[in-house]
Structure 1
Amino acid sequence: MSQSDFIALAVIPCVLRLKVVMRRTGLSRSSLYSLMDPNSKYFDPSFPKRIYLTGRIGGAIGFIESEVSQWIESRITA
């Protein structure tokens, strides 16, 4: 690979599936959904927004890796 190939790979956003986000944050599935639910008392508006990978609500979801990393960093400094 050339240097430009490595640079191109560095700027491509990576999508993390829910299980990977659970592993990285140390939170359970229900805790993550509580953070995303505006009606929950645990709602965190700074938590990364989910993206629908299949293009429809109720399908597979993912999270942008850089946003998850930033959120984890913000929790460390809080």
Structure 2
Amino acid sequence: MIIGVLSFLLSWLLTAILNIATLGIFYFLGIGFVTRVIAYAIIIEIADKMTSDFKTDGFMSSIWLAVLIAIFGAIVDAILF
């Protein structure tokens, strides 16, 4: 639940910051998926620090979980939109 709330509140901000920092290169190359994964990984790490019930074993496990979340989100976006 914490990841969902943080994602709702912060993912757009983190994605915008990453797009500005990379000058939108990933977005214009059609691989905006990379910035979405990095934003989700940061959100997962924030959730890890906020609660003792959710633990990750380093940033790589957060990246893998973020990849799964981003793939699922892309599939849902493709179905809905």
Could you say whether these structures have the same fold, taking a TM-score greater than 0.5 normalized by the shorter chain as the test?
no
TM-score, length-normalised on structure 2? 0.26
Choose between structure 1 and 2: higher strand proportion.
1
TM-score, length-normalised on structure 1? 0.26
